[in-house]
Amino acid sequence: MSERDEQIKLFNWINLHYELKDLAFSIPNEGKRSLILGRLYKRMGLRPGTPDIFIPYPTKTYHGCFIELKWGKNKPTPAQSNFIQRLKDKGYYAEVIWGADAAIEAIINYLKT
């Protein structure tokens, strides 16, 4: 398994849920790029540390749900930790979560808030 496989597994689950499937989306912020492409993406709004997944489905408690999905021994970068804390400060649910199963559980709990 890989982080990519885990994210596919998570979106397979999300796509089975009517209230989420047309709203949840991936933010393709990972990966190495050439210097030219990296500069272009930065000018287009790419931000270091942006979480992998956003579900713009507000609850009584939160404005929306951001998930930085990790797998195995991967750890969040300082930019990711900082971004997530800033999102929390603005009223969003934002967490680093290891694996699709834990992310599914977190989303179920998020929807109850």
Q: Which residues contact 59 (CB under 8 A, 6 or more apart)?
A: 93, 110, 111, 112, 113
pLDDT of residue 37: 86
Distances (CA, A) of 49 to 16, 25, 34, 81, 90: 28, 16, 18, 7, 16
Q: Which two tokens stand for residue 10?
A: 């998570």
Q: Are 104 and 10 in contact (CB under 8 A)?
A: yes
pLDDT of residue 31: 67
Confidence grade of residue 3 (pLDDT, cut at 50, 70, 90): confident
Give the pairing type, strands 93-98 and 65-70. Answer: parallel
> The CATH number of the domain where 85 resides is what?
3.40.1350.10
Q: 104 pLDDT exceeds 80?
A: yes
pLDDT of residue 42: 83
Confidence grade of residue 11 (pLDDT, cut at 50, 70, 90): very high
pLDDT of residue 47: 87
Q: What is the pLDDT of residues 21-67, one digit of tens each?
A: 899 999 887 767 788 887 888 898 888 899 999 999 999 999 999 99
User: How many domains in the chain?
Assistant: 1
Sheet of 53-55: strand order equals: 25-26, 53-55, 65-70, 93-98
Whole domain around residue 18: which residue ranges?
3-111
Instruction: Read off φ and ψ for residue 93, nearest 5 degrees.
Output: -80, 125
pTM (2 d.p.): 0.90
